[in-house]
A and B are shown apart, each in its own frame.
Chain A
Amino acid sequence: MRDNNGLMVKPLFTEEMKKTHTILIPDMLTFHFELMKGVFIQHGYKVEVLKTKHKGIVDEGLQSVHNDTCYPALLVIGQFIDALKSGRYDLDRTALLISQTGGGCRASNYIFLLRKALEKNGLSHIPVLSLNFSGLEKEHSMPLPPKMLVKLVYAVLYSDFIMGIYNQCVPYEKNPGESMALVEAWNNRLLEQMGGPLFVRLGHNYKAILDDFAAIPRDKTDKIKVGIVGEIYLKYSPLGNNDLENYLISEGAEVVNSGLLDFLMYCVYNSIHDKKLYGWGGMRYHVSRFAMWYLKGRQRGMIKAIRGHGTFEPPADFASVIDMATGYLDHGVKMGEGWLLTAEMIELIHSGVNNIVSAQPFGCLPNHIVAKGMIRKIKDNFPEANIVAVDYDPGASRINQENRIKLMLANAHLSQSLEGLAQREEGIPLDALEAQAKREEDSELEVSTA
């Protein structure tokens, strides 16, 4: 529907709709979104996280958005449209939720692309909610009262925590599936606790989680550690990155993946840094300072718990992640994953994880600078860095992506076993080998002519 000025009429998500409408959320962070969904439900919303992953999603995306749009937008929108057309939802009782960062890259426009896609498919009556902290889409924002916000932050903390431990457990588990079963069990337990006094006892829960995972029988063989950095959707979403994490695990690697908390702190940090670069003080600055202080504190708590327990590696302290970018790029680079992506690569290398997959949408603008643009310098400073940049888009074939990752893995194995290499790498010098091959050929010729 359009008004007289040709503007799309955007249906509101009214208070009453809380009861009647199911809000669909696109898939991205499997662990996190389940817990976050619990928060929404507790605050009276009906919510469903989309779990679909069939080929039709890409086709819907291709048909509904400009084909040069970045792959994450194409997938998120394709997944929505595909779901709406599946017949599984009452279209008069469904709404959509999409996040908006408000930064200078295309991602802030996803919500408009989604509305256009809905219009194209005759679904423009479906309300779209924006999840953002930038004051965008005022009438169409998901309201986030403080109580809900705190719970969401806790959901992120728990999910990051569990994801980090799970990643360290699953490649080594003796009984396949045990780690994942524990994740699910803990998810359920946390959902039960939500809203109650137990839920906010982070330290207590952390310890119980650590104990449980530590009890999983594990085979402590030497595995190659591979860090994943990249555009946020492709970094996490199995739909987007062709199940990268499980692929790496199946190739005998341990995945190291920073949490969502880092991205949140990155966003907050940028608002603080804006004061230095642009003189923007005021409310936003002070709120950000407070948020930073709060989040840093929570992260330190998490790190302390893991370190104290002694079985697993804690995530990197965000304060040190911030420092990692120094000497590479300014913290003013804040579009997309900005300086954080570069900093994460260097942080990984500092913590001994030299093998890195950088997952990026084909043609992603910030990635030209913060990922591909920085690899040269990182390699110069850290010759042992083994970084592979993988492009994702609807046409890129999986075989091509896996081939690149395989090369990275082969090199990782090589450098791990470099000791024994010297005596095994024997060969005949090229000139001699060519002469030998030539002689061989000539003698064959003689044989065949004779």
Chain B
Amino acid sequence: MSYRIGIDVGSTTLKTVVLDDRGHIVEKSYQRHFSKVREMTLRHLASLEPLLREHSLKVAVTGSAGLGIARDSELEFVQEVFATAGAVRRTAPDTDVVIELGGEDAKIIFLGGTLEERMNGTCAGGTGAFIDQMATLLDVTPNQLDEMSLRAKKIYPIASRCGVFAKSDIQPLLNQGARKEDIAASIFQAVVDQTITGLAQGRKIEGKVLFLGGPLSFLKGLQLRFLQTLGLEEEHAVFPGLAPYFVALGSAYYAGNLSHQAAISYRQLMEQLQREPAKTSATHCLPSLFESQEDYIDFKARHDARTVEHREMASYSGRAFLGIDAGSTTTKLVLLDDEARILYSHYVNNGGNPIPVILEQLKLIYHLCGDRITIDASAVTGYGEELMKAAFGVDFGLVETVAHYTAARHFDPLVDFIIDIGGQDIKCFTVRDGAVDSIILNEACSSGCGSFIETFAKSLGYDIAEFSKLALFSKNPVDLGTRCTVFMNSSVKQAQKDGATVEDISAGLAISVIKNALYKVIRARSAEELGEHIVVQGGTFLNNAVLRSFEQELGRNVIRLSISELMGAYGAALYAMENGRETSSLINRKELAAFSHKAVAATCHKCTNRCPLTVNTFADGRRFISGNKCERGAGADEAGNLPNLMGYKYRRILDSIPEGNEEKTRLRVGIPLVLNQYENLPFWAAFFHALDCRVVLSGQSSRSLYMKGQHTIPSDTVCYPAKLAHGHMEELVEQGVDTIFYPCMTYNFDEGISDNCYNCPVVAYYPESIAANVESVANTRFLYPHLSLGDEKFFVGRIYTILRDAIPDLKKSEVVRASKAAYAAYADYRQDVIAAGQTALAYAREQDKKVIMMACRPYHVDPEINHGIDKLLTSLGFVIVTDDCVAHLEGKHPYNVLNQWTYHARMYNAARFTVEHPHMEMVQLISFGCGLDAVTSDEIKDILRRGGKLYTQLKIDEINNLGAVKIRLRSLLAAMEEREVTVHA
């Protein structure tokens, strides 16, 4: 008989299917290959000898890691999505859509109607590997994650774009004490959302849907999320038992179509598979970490000498100071004596739940203290700071950057650069004249730091210590590039294909973490730029391979202390020592014994942000609410009501619909409140009002409004403000307006401060994308003419022609009048904003408040886009002014960029303005995916730096969590205060 064999070599697993002449499956297998792709394939086929020996075989290989094997063994290769489609056509031809999630790939195939096949983009997690990573983060197995998800009561919004983003969303939730069950379901929901935006790209998933791949067949919770989100009836959703084997099955079918010459004997197959891999390698190698054994010994000796003094606790009596670093994945504690010697320290993975860890530790510490030692003061830093303060009565909370500086300064008073690479984040800053000069935190997109290496080690079957040791003596470290972890995964895949060893991969990962930090986060050119006295810290630097590659990349030796991973806690303890009062408010022994804690999820309804809250209740009935962005959610009243131009502009825009709008009947004109409309609405509202038309606004942005349009987004890497437009359009269509008006505007107003007055490509042309992708607009008249408001006379003529169809009895004279009203309304709006800015600045001067000059686009005032950053700022005591309030005061200036975008021209001028004013710093809001800001941010930074100001950049996305933003802003505040002290001293 002749057999058909399909071999599917995926990124993490190996699958095979053997079909006989009748098309029956006589053998199938599914196993993890731990990157030993070739060996595992060979071993598995060897085990099939009794079955295969007597038959003639036709073989086809598929899968993301299968290409190399196919090439080396001269076996037929078939692209995996193509193979899947073939299998589906043969076994379930009535299928409309196939969704397949694999280890690192996600695919969708539309069979009903036009055939369309898509794979996840180069920037996309949302796959099996992503789920594995998230399970690791929660310290459970994927199966446990699945079970937990079925008990969920609440779904949190978790960024669905890629694993790194989701991680930075989940971590704060964990630290705030959210239920793991809810998080588990939220993770699955993120995968579903990713599939819809990332893969379906505007095509509706409906009809009979076949779900394939490992995760979708093993994880019931994931299935459930798909069913509910897509609104599928049971009979329309098929989860076949053969799901994990489908690609291999398709590959076997494909093999069957091969010519007769392709049939080979079992012996020949084994011979072909054993052929040496071709040495044509597309992977680049880097120099090894150590040239010789001696180099390594020198290196080790140098760093091992950096120890910190300890003191035996049992023999000590007197005062002590406690420092806690409640980090993202780990909890660190340090107890110091009155000479800053370490009495006790502890470092532990908190499994996403820090409270029990600290509870247990405090009990132990009190036990060890006995009656001899009293804890005089305590301080906490890190993500879990506020919760710990509430739970355990810790005296002080300080922002991480300050804690790290305090510690580093203690060991090297001349320290001028500190870099901390932790599990989730990179923090670094320079120190100039004894004050923190600039703080750099990693953006959510490159935070694949320590925990990334760890997860990777695990996926290859090693523990982290063993894995990092392997790196030290790699001969040819693999060059893995410097982007986010998802990219690295595929680079590793390629390296494995090219025969890289685990040693080379481990070294390559260490090097890429460092390159990421240096070139992606810090963006340094040379060691000189960083500093002379560099202190490195954080758990990741305990990995000698990482430390070595850092020194190698800089060409300079750095200081790593033996307590590298404890520096935050050490700094906190020092801070407690310096600032300690008479008595500590730290929970006492008796209270500790009675301590208990319960966390419940809730939603805040005090404003449109709808923050998801976690309500923590303690034994004594105290409550602590986390997740809130402002103080209102935590029960406080509106914080001080400091002037906030972002909030002002938002209200002003919403109020720009003229009175009497409701009575107008000539035409109901829908205007989506998106992108540039956040500035142009006063213009259009007045214009249509003057034409006796009623203006209907799409509602305020929200997560649910976004979801409404999510399925029509064609490009998943476009910025969130643009993505929101899809929801706004759906909403307008639902409201049943006569016409939707959303013009394409290549040009903005020329404000006389720039060389040209373009809008960005997305703002300019997004209506075109809407027209081509939002199907429902076909049900209404959608007008999206290309217009410029620059020349009033020309505008009148042009808009008249455009509107004549929609308003048949339109007269030119009306249009002239309406245009006048529109231009006047827009001028009023700008005047009001400028005046409000002046008022805010005057208030800040009188009340001696610090001012944040916010460099942002008009649409950044949307609370769904800025996630309440303005409220966070005012709660920290800042007055907020926006760039458009002051840009005109600076006139036209030359810059080191082509100054050609109206919105950005304002930012450059506002940066100049900031430089000229004391007690003022600039914060730039950048939407993820905004290409223009790669140009603007460097120039703004340059202007500020030359003027002696700090540069703070906040990257925002659909991520609803302000954890990292908060660190930045608190660090900024601390730096401003520190600088003012230095100036006054």
Interface residues of A, Cβ cutoff 8 Å to B: 5-8, 55, 62-64, 66-70, 104-106, 108-109, 111-113, 115-116, 120-121, 136, 277-279, 328-330, 332-336, 362-370, 372-377, 379-380, 383, 391, 393-400, 402-404, 406-407, 409-411, 414, 424-430, 433-434, 436-438, 440
Would A400 and B490 be within 8 Å (CB), given that A63-B519, A336-B761, A406-B79 are in contact? yes
Of the candidates A6, A62, A104, A436, the one whose C-beta lies within 8 Å of that of B760 is A104
Of the candidates B487, B786, B929, the one whose C-beta lies within 8 Å of that of A363 is B929
Would A70 and B896 be within 8 Å (CB), given that A55-B479, A335-B761, A437-B242 are in contact? no
Q: Are B79 and A66 in contact (CB under 8 A)?
A: no
Of the candidates A66, A104, A121, A430, the one whose C-beta lies within 8 Å of that of B934 is A66
A-B contacts, 30 of them at CB < 8 A, read A6-B946, A67-B520, A68-B934, A69-B934, A104-B761, A106-B931, A112-B898, A278-B747, A330-B786, A334-B746, A335-B746, A362-B123, A363-B929, A363-B931, A368-B769, A372-B201, A373-B773, A377-B773, A395-B487, A396-B122, A398-B494, A399-B493, A400-B490, A411-B117, A425-B86, A425-B89, A427-B91, A428-B91, A434-B240, A440-B25
Q: Are A414 and B82 in contact (CB under 8 A)?
A: yes
Q: Are B25 and A398 in contact (CB under 8 A)?
A: no
Q: Which of B188-196, B224-232, B431-439, B935-943 lies at the interface with chain A?
A: B935-943
Q: Are B896 and A395 in contact (CB under 8 A)?
A: no
Of the candidates B483, B896, B900, the one whose C-beta lies within 8 Å of that of A116 is B896
Give the CA-CA distance A362 to B89 in the complex, in Å: 33
Of the candidates B27, B240, B284, B744, the one whose C-beta lies within 8 Å of that of A332 is B744
A-facing residues in B76-134 (Cβ within 8 Å): 78-82, 86-87, 89-92, 113-117, 119, 121-123
Residues of B within 8 Å of A6, CB to CB, are 896, 942-943, 946
Q: Which of B176-184, B299-307, B787-795 lies at the interface with chain A?
A: B787-795
Q: Are B25 and A433 in contact (CB under 8 A)?
A: yes
Question: A104-B756, A400-B490 provided; 5 other pairs, C-beta below 8 A?
Answer: A67-B934, A373-B768, A395-B122, A404-B119, A411-B115
Q: Are A332 and B718 in contact (CB under 8 A)?
A: no
Would A394 and B481 be within 8 Å (CB), given that A62-B519, A433-B91 are in contact? yes
Residues of B within 8 Å of A395, CB to CB, are 122, 481-484, 487-488, 491
Which residue of chain A has the shortest Cβ distance to B897 in the bound complex? Answer: A112
Q: Are A440 and B26 in contact (CB under 8 A)?
A: yes
Of the candidates B26, B747, B761, the one whose C-beta lies within 8 Å of that of A105 is B761
Q: Are B786 and A277 in contact (CB under 8 A)?
A: yes
Q: Are A433 and B931 in contact (CB under 8 A)?
A: no
Is B341 in contact with chain A by the CB < 8 A criterion?
no
Q: Are B937 and A278 in contact (CB under 8 A)?
A: no
Of the candidates B26, B773, B786, B935, the one whose C-beta lies within 8 Å of that of A109 is B935
Is B606 in contact with chain A by the CB < 8 A criterion?
no
Q: Bits for B760-776, please: 1 = Cβ < 8 Å to A, else 0.
A: 11101110110111000
Would A104 and B938 be within 8 Å (CB), given that A68-B931, A373-B769, A397-B494 are in contact? no
Give the CA-CA distance A399 to B117 in the complex, in Å: 18
Q: Are A391 and B122 in contact (CB under 8 A)?
A: yes
Q: Are A8 and B931 in contact (CB under 8 A)?
A: no
Q: Are B765 and A407 in contact (CB under 8 A)?
A: no
Minimum Cβ distance to chain B for residue A67 (Å): 5
Which residue of chain A has the shortest Cβ distance to B490 in the bound complex? Answer: A397
Of the candidates A115, A333, A402, A428, the one whose C-beta lies within 8 Å of that of B768 is A333
Which residue of chain B has the shortest Cβ distance to A380 in the bound complex? Answer: B114
Q: Are B759 and A428 in contact (CB under 8 A)?
A: no
Minimum Cβ distance to chain B for residue A280 (Å): 9
Residues of A within 8 Å of B67, CB to CB, are 399, 402-403
Which residue of chain A has the shortest Cβ distance to B107 in the bound complex? Answer: A407
Give the CA-CA distance A346 to B520 in the complex, in Å: 38
Of the candidates B90, B282, B494, B934, the one whose C-beta lies within 8 Å of that of A425 is B90
The majority secondary structure among interface residues of chain A is helix
Is B203 in contact with chain A by the CB < 8 A criterion?
yes
Residues of A within 8 Å of B765, CB to CB, are 329, 333, 335, 366, 369-370
Give the CA-CA distance A428 to B759 in the complex, in Å: 57
Residues of A within 8 Å of B771, CB to CB, are 329
Of the candidates A362, A374, A383, the one whose C-beta lies within 8 Å of that of B717 is A362
Would A277 and B714 be within 8 Å (CB), given that A112-B896, A336-B761, A438-B241 are in contact? no
Q: Are A394 and B934 in contact (CB under 8 A)?
A: no
Would A398 and B282 be within 8 Å (CB), given that A368-B718, A407-B117, A430-B91 are in contact? yes
Give the CA-CA distance A330 to B479 in the complex, in Å: 44
Q: Are B935 and A106 in contact (CB under 8 A)?
A: yes
Which of the listed residues A362, A406, A433 has the most CB atoms from chain B within 10 Å of its own CB? A433
Task: Tell me the count of chain B residues lying within 8 A, CB to CB, of chain A.
Answer: 105
Of the candidates B202, B494, B942, the one whose C-beta lies within 8 Å of that of A399 is B494
Q: Are B794 and A366 in contact (CB under 8 A)?
A: no
Residues of A within 8 Å of B417, CB to CB, are none
Minimum Cβ distance to chain A for residue B15 (Å): 13
Minimum Cβ distance to chain B for residue A65 (Å): 8
Q: Are B760 and A365 in contact (CB under 8 A)?
A: yes
Minimum Cβ distance to chain B for residue A119 (Å): 9
Would A373 and B714 be within 8 Å (CB), given that A279-B791, A334-B746, A400-B122 are in contact? yes
Would A68 and B91 be within 8 Å (CB), given that A368-B717, A373-B714, A410-B79 are in contact? no
Which residue of chain B has the shortest Cβ distance to A435 in the bound complex? Answer: B241
Give the CA-CA distance A113 to B718 in the complex, in Å: 23
Q: Bits for B793-831, please: 1 = Cβ < 8 Å to A, else 0.
A: 010011000000000000000000000000000000000
Residues of A within 8 Å of B523, CB to CB, are 66-67
Q: Are A104 and B758 in contact (CB under 8 A)?
A: yes
Which residue of chain B has the shortest Cβ distance to A376 in the bound complex? Answer: B202
Q: Are B900 and A108 in contact (CB under 8 A)?
A: yes
Q: Are A278 and B242 in contact (CB under 8 A)?
A: no
Q: Are B79 and A436 in contact (CB under 8 A)?
A: no
Q: Are B483 and A376 in contact (CB under 8 A)?
A: no
Of the candidates A55, A62, A363, A403, the one whose C-beta lies within 8 Å of that of B79 is A403
A-facing residues in B237-280 (Cβ within 8 Å): 238, 240-242, 253, 257
Which residue of chain B has the shortest Cβ distance to A108 in the bound complex? Answer: B898
Is B23 in contact with chain A by the CB < 8 A criterion?
yes
A-facing residues in B692-720 (Cβ within 8 Å): 714-715, 717-718
A-facing residues in B182-240 (Cβ within 8 Å): 201-203, 238, 240
Which residue of chain B has the shortest Cβ distance to A381 in the bound complex? Answer: B114
Give the CA-CA distance A404 to B934 in the complex, in Å: 28
Q: Are A335 and B87 in contact (CB under 8 A)?
A: no
Q: Are B487 and A375 in contact (CB under 8 A)?
A: no
Give the CA-CA distance A209 to B208 in the complex, in Å: 56
Give the CA-CA distance A373 to B766 in the complex, in Å: 9
Q: Are B714 and A430 in contact (CB under 8 A)?
A: no
Minimum Cβ distance to chain A for residue B23 (Å): 5
Give the CA-CA distance A123 to B78 in the complex, in Å: 50
Q: Are A332 and B91 in contact (CB under 8 A)?
A: no
Minimum Cβ distance to chain A for residue B358 (Å): 38
Residues of A within 8 Å of B479, CB to CB, are 55
Is B901 in contact with chain A by the CB < 8 A criterion?
yes
Is B722 in contact with chain A by the CB < 8 A criterion?
yes
Minimum Cβ distance to chain B for residue A385 (Å): 8
Minimum Cβ distance to chain B for residue A253 (Å): 14
Q: Are A379 and B772 in contact (CB under 8 A)?
A: no
Q: Bits for B934-959, please: 1 = Cβ < 8 Å to A, else 0.
A: 11011000110010000000000000
Residues of B within 8 Å of A368, CB to CB, are 714-715, 717-718, 722, 761-762, 769
Q: Are A410 and B78 in contact (CB under 8 A)?
A: yes
Is B660 in contact with chain A by the CB < 8 A criterion?
no
Residues of A within 8 Å of B329, CB to CB, are none
Q: Are A376 and B897 in contact (CB under 8 A)?
A: no
Residues of A within 8 Å of B488, CB to CB, are 395
Of the candidates A64, A116, A383, A427, the one whose C-beta lies within 8 Å of that of B87 is A427
Q: Are A440 and B24 in contact (CB under 8 A)?
A: yes
Which residue of chain A has the shortest Cβ distance to B481 in the bound complex? Answer: A395
Is B497 in contact with chain A by the CB < 8 A criterion?
yes
Q: Are A437 and B119 in contact (CB under 8 A)?
A: no
Which residue of chain B has the shortest Cβ distance to A400 in the bound complex? Answer: B490
A-B CB proximity, top 3 nearest: A427-B90, A395-B483, A332-B786
